[in-house]
Amino acid sequence: MRADPADYELVAPGSLSAVVSLLAQQPNQWLPIAGGTDVMVQYASGKLAPRKLVSLWNLPELRRIEVADNEVIIGACCTYTDLLGHEIVMREFPLLASAARWTGGIANQNRGTLGGNIVNASPAADSLPALLVYEAELILVSARGERRIPYIDFHTGYKQTLLAPAELIRAICLARRFAGYVSYSRKVGARNAQAISKVCIAALGRVVDGVVEDVRLGTGSVAPTPVRLRETERALRGKRIDAALVSHARRTAIGEIRPIDDIRSTAAYRAAVVGNLVVEFLHLLHDRGQSG
């Protein structure tokens, strides 16, 4: 049954300071809403419990992309369209740009926000593996002030995060240190867009003199949270890519994930796909390393 608008209250304070003040004064009473792409799905299906909503949409403090010498700071309410329209994001963070292209259709890209994707905490979200491999950091804000945390620590369980009561994500910070890395990303689903991933992966690697100097592997839709494949990375660093190493990496990657059977796929399929995608990335990394 569709929800009744009369059961909800929506306010738009107009500034970040006013929002955090409201959240602090009435903790657990207000649900922050930005683009609303997930909240409105719940609302339309009658699954959103009546409550108070506070809008973050178009707050100037959350819609900026700031470029410094050592990092790019993306406001939490920047949309996927904002990311796709930013030259440095597109050039230096292609994995995030790919995820932005995959997320929904044009309408969703115009409304959906990077911060909202993170807080929604779906393990199948397309942008989250990219943030893992770029080792993003989050700036969290509340009436108590700001704190900065590694993104990899943010998800503590299925749909659970480190956000404290009355706290928001203000920005996502990406270090500008991945020039010369090989980038690889794949989304496996019914379609590339407007479909939830069965498996998604983002990977970065750098080969020097035929040896894997650095490698990063992030996966989604294969565990209760997005997963960085740390054991597989350790198995690859300092090694030359050959058939034996590729086979070992495949087995190690499959052992690190915890896929489930659900309406979209099976655990066995997801495990096989993760192994295949790791192999595909390593072949690409080897070929790029051979060509310099």
Indicate if the pLDDT at residue 49 is higher than 90.
no
Q: Which pLDDT value is given to residue 192?
A: 59
Stated as kind and residue range, the H or E segment containing 199 is: strand 199-208
Q: Which pLDDT value is given to residue 1?
A: 60
Helices (H), the chain: 16-25, 39-44, 80-84, 87-92, 94-102, 106-111, 114-120, 128-133, 230-236, 243-256, 267-291
Using alpha carbons only, what angle is made at residue 125 by residues 227 and 121, rounded to the nearest 5 degrees?
75
3-state secondary structure of 138: strand
Using alpha carbons only, what angle is made at residue 75 by residues 24 and 122, rounded to the nearest 5 degrees?
80
Helices (H), 167-266: 230-236, 243-256
Indicate if the pLDDT at residue 264 is higher than 90.
no
Interacting residues of 188 by C-beta distance below 8 A, sequence separation 6+ = 197, 198, 199, 200, 273, 277
Task: Provide the 10 A C-beta neighbour count for residue 49.
Answer: 10
pLDDT in tens, 147-205: 999 999 999 999 999 999 999 999 999 999 999 999 999 999 766 556 688 999 999 99
- The rounded mean pLDDT for the chain is 94
Q: Which pLDDT value is given to residue 91?
A: 97
- Gap between the Cα atoms of 174 and 260, Å rounded: 31
243-272: average pLDDT: 95
227-231: average pLDDT: 98
| 259-271 per-residue burial string, b: 16 or more CB within 10 A, e: under 16 | beeeebbeeeebb
Q: How far apart are the first and last CA of the chain?
A: 59
pLDDT in tens, 106-121: 889 999 999 999 999 9
> What domains appear along the chain, each with residue ranges and CATH number?
7-55 (3.30.43), 60-175 (3.30.465.10), 182-291 (3.30.390.50)
Q: Which pLDDT value is given to residue 4?
A: 82
56-82: average pLDDT: 97
